[in-house]
Amino acid sequence: MTSTAETPQLGHEVIQSYLKTIDSSPGVYRMLDAESRVLYVGKARNLRARVSNYARPSGHSGRIARMIANTASMMFLTTKTETEALLLEQNLIKQLKPKFNVLLRDDKSFPNILVTAEHDYPQIKKHRGAKKEKGAYYGPFASAGAVNRTLNQLQRVFLLRDCSNAMFDSRTRPCLQYQIKRCSAPCVGKISPEEYRQTVKDAERFLSGKKTDIQARLAKEMTQASEEMEFERAAALRDRIKALTQVQTSQGINPKGVTEADIIALHMDSGQACVQVFFIRANQNWGNRDYYPRVGADVDAAEVLEAFIGQFYDTREPARQLILSNEIENADLMADALTGKLGRKVELLVPRRGEKAELVDGALRNARESLARKMAETATQARLMQGLADAFDLPGPPQRIEVYDNSHIQGTNAVGAMIVAGPEGMMKNQYRKFNIRGEELTPGDDFGMMKEVLNRRFKRLIKEDPDRTEGMWPDLLLIDGGAGQVSAVRKIMRDHGVEDIPMVGVAKGVDRDAGKEEFHRTGQRPMALRHNDPVLYFVQRLRDEAHRFAIGTHRAKRAKAVGATPLDEVPGVGAARKRALLAHFGSAKAVGRANLSDLKAVAGVSDALAETIYAYFHERG
């Protein structure tokens, strides 16, 4: 059931009017302001009882009182159970980002380690995203760095290949990985399939937490090799045991009594919060990550932690145990919701003593230290923003700075890049890349590229946020260039009817030395900042970050173009079938020359697709 009301009234009287139309069902409610923007999303076991609390004229915290005062209408959605309401609430919060809710701001996926299953010599590699490829997945790891470190160590211990199937099939001699003792070179028969399968099993046992068995077996094999005077083999086994020991010591926390858990600790200070999450899998620490949810000054820890857990696991698989630093308001509901999601029992624990409590204490210490660093960085950032406002005569500290740059090689694979910075630093989830489409552009025409990027950027802004209410409009533009670029960009902005956004051109000064930059603004003389001015360093850092992002985007595009083949244009041939065809035939040219029966012999290629591929290559000329 969904209902809305339009009324010029605001506050608890508006909320009171809804009590006549709602019942005692569980569900989710939304509070909206006079412009129909969602202020708050909440759940209730009994909608009527919850709304009647808001209808009271007094007795609310400052945050709730402000929310009620701004409420012009409400929307309701009933559910069958309160657990269903909890899941819907967290989903809507992530989608709508209401002003008065606790909001998790970082929603990146976590990488896993994948041991592939569709090859005689399985590959070990990092995997992020949907688990579509066949094989055994181990994770999650807190970061790409944590995965890379573990993969590096696993290669030293188990000598598993990390090359692609196409690379594997094309080798005629061992690669550098073999030379530096990171791979057993199965591609050229340096190890038998049986021996390689044993090392794969050992790696999987290690990732499953059974590493002591492996060490004991390797030690036994080393002793036997020594007795048989196979000293080279004994030395290799010794090196693997040593590497395995280093893996275990480098992980730091390796709890004996906790097989699989996420340790979640919250620390709050001065209206800010840090949640630290440690991932424990197979009795091993697979890294940690800190989060800084958006909270208010009068939000309590139970509400923050519940909101965090609900949003964090909306798109992620929970561990069997969540070990928490604080109780949450609806622990039973959350456990039911996560159990339903995982398909097996999930426990929420708040330990008071023992190993689990020690793990929470460690996570809490990390959260406390991380928040202190974050608050110090935020204070520094606030001073820099004020410094920018003072230096360039802005009306106030900018909340959103956009910096643009281009990258290309003699006009090829041209891309434009936009980075964004705000009061809390670089806003990486707001970065954007632009593939330059203009066919009439002269190769290397940097201004033409900038014109296309800004035209596309502001055309979209005007379409998606014409009233400038979503916080997506910049307060300051930084452009790489001097007076000519600033004047030209100003004309582009004027063409879009945008003339009130301050713009600064950053040009290299005398001898093009960093530190001697000149700053150009419309209708004003060029200016410079003191050589040791923190604002100058900040602008340089912004410009360098834009350049780094543009270069990285350009390289990715160039690498994709280099790896492109005619197979990319064949209907029905995706990444997996492309890999299978290249592995089978060795090259796209060989695929094009293959007869129909050979194409049908490729694993994963149906008769119909083989005919499509054959027709594509043999009917084009």
- Considering the domain boundaries, does residue 105 fall inside one? no
DSSP state for residue 15 in the 8-state scheme:
H
The rounded distance, in Å, linking the Cα atoms of 118 and 114 is: 12
- 457 shares a domain with 353: no
- Rounded to an integer, what distance in angstroms lies between the CA atom of residue 29 and that of residue 221? 65
Q: Could you give the 3-state DSSP secondary structure of residue 238?
A: helix
Res 6: pLDDT: 47
Cα–Cα distances in angstroms (integers) from residue 115 to residues 54, 151, 190, 197, 281, in the given order: 53, 11, 20, 11, 16
Residue 323 lies in a domain: yes
Task: Specify the pLDDT at position 617.
Answer: 80
Look up the domain containing 341 and give its range.
260-373
Give me the mean pLDDT over the 388-406 stretch.
93
410 and 552 together in one domain: yes
Q: What is the pTM of this model?
A: 0.74
One-letter identity of residue 292: Y
Tell me the pLDDT band of 361, cut-offs 50, 70 and 90. Answer: very high
CA nearest to 168, candidates 152, 155, 154, 184: 184
Quote the pLDDT of residue 612.
87
Confidence of residue 440 (pLDDT cuts 50, 70, 90): low
Cα 475 to Cα 472: distance, rounded to the nearest angstrom: 10
- What is the reported pLDDT for 74? 94
Of 239, 80, 220, 101, nearest to 158 by C-alpha is: 239
Q: What gap in Å lies between CA 360 and CA 385, rounded to an integer?
A: 36
pLDDT of residue 401: 96
Selected residue with higher pLDDT from 43 and 573: 43
Residue 357 sits in a domain whose CATH number is 3.30.420.340
pLDDT band at 572 (very low <50, low <70, confident <90, very high): confident
Query: Are residues 79 and 216 located together in one domain of the fold?
Result: no
Residues 421, 519 share a domain: yes
Cβ-based burial of 434 (10 A; exposed 0-12, middle 13-18, buried ≥19): buried
- Please tell me the predicted confidence (pLDDT) of residue 1: 47
Confidence of residue 564 (pLDDT cuts 50, 70, 90): low
Of the candidates 26, 30, 34, which has an alpha carbon nearest to the alpha carbon of residue 18?
Answer: 30
Decide: 93 and 311 in contact? Cβ < 8 Å.
yes
- Pick the last residue of a domain from 560, 582, 599: 560
Query: What is the 8-class DSSP label of residue 568?
Result: G
Res 470 pLDDT > 60: yes
Question: What is the C-alpha separation between 86 and 339, in angstroms, rounded?
Answer: 13
Residue 8, pLDDT > 60, answer: no
The dihedrals phi and psi of 277, each to the nearest 5 degrees, come to -120, 125
Q: How confident is the model at residue 341 (pLDDT cuts 50, 70, 90)?
A: confident
Long-range CB contact pairs, 115-122, < 8 A, 24+: 115/160, 115/200, 115/203, 115/204, 115/207, 119/165, 119/168, 120/193, 121/161, 121/168, 121/186, 121/187, 121/193, 121/196, 122/160, 122/200
Query: Using CA atoms, how far apart are residues 82 and 43, in angstroms rounded to an integer?
Result: 8
Element (H, E) at 39: strand 38-44
Inside any domain, residue 387: no
**pLDDT band per the 50, 70, 90 thresholds, residue 7:** very low
Given a cut of 50, whether residue 417 has pLDDT beyond it is: yes
Q: Are residues 120 and 194 in the same domain?
A: yes
CA 464 to mean position of chain CA atoms: 24
Per-residue confidence (pLDDT) for residue 366, from 0 to 100: 93
Q: Please determine, for residue 487, whether its predicted confidence score (pLDDT) is greater than 50.
A: yes
Q: Are 123 and 133 in contact (CB under 8 A)?
A: no
Domain count, the chain: 5
Query: Which pLDDT does position 146 carry in this prediction?
Result: 83
Q: Regarding predicted confidence, which is higher, 556 or 100?
A: 100
Q: In this predicted model, what pLDDT tens digit does every residue of 573-596 receive, in sequence order?
A: 887 888 888 878 877 788 888 888
In a domain, 390, yes or no: no
Report how far residue 487's alpha carbon sits from residue 194's, in angstroms, rounded to the nearest whole number. 70
Average pLDDT score over residue span 124-153: 87
CATH code, domain carrying 51: 3.40.1440.10
Contact 492, 420 (CB under 8 A): no
Domain match, 415 and 556 both: yes
pLDDT at site 621? 45
